Amino acid sequence: MMTRKIILASGSPRRRELLRGLGLEFEIYKPEVDESRLDNERPEDLCRRLSRIKAMAGSQKFHDSIIIAADTIVVIDGLILGKPSDREDAFNMLRTLQGREHEVLTGLTVCSDTKIISHVEHTRVKFRQLGDSQIKNYIASGECDDKAGAYAVQGKGALLVEGLSGDYFNVVGLPVCALGKILAELGVNIL
| Digit-coded pLDDT (tens) for 92-103 | 999 999 999 999
pLDDT 10s digits, 52-100: 999 999 999 998 999 999 999 999 999 999 899 999 999 999 999 999 9
Does the structural domain 5-185 have CATH classification 1.10.3720.10?
A: no
**Residues β-bridged to residue 161:** 127
165 CB-near residues (< 8 Å, 6+ apart): 123, 124, 125
Q: What is the mean pLDDT of residues 92-121?
A: 96
In this prediction, residue 36 carries a pLDDT of: 87
Give SS3 for 71.
strand
Report the largest interatomic distance among the alpha carbons of the chain, rounded to a whole angstrom.
Answer: 57
In this prediction, residue 3 carries a pLDDT of: 65
In percent, the amount of the chain with pLDDT more than 70 equals 98
Nearest to 97, CA basis, from 119, 122, 73, 129: 129
In this prediction, residue 2 carries a pLDDT of: 44
Q: What is the mean pLDDT of residues 132-157?
A: 94
* Pairing relationship of beta strands 101-111 and 65-76 according to DSSP bridges: antiparallel
Tell me if 91 sits within 8 A of 61, measured CB to CB. no
Q: Would you give the DSSP letter of residue 24?
A: -
Active site residues: 71
For 98, the enclosing helix (H) or strand (E) is: none
The pTM for the full model equals 0.92
* Pairing relationship of beta strands 116-127 and 101-111 according to DSSP bridges: antiparallel
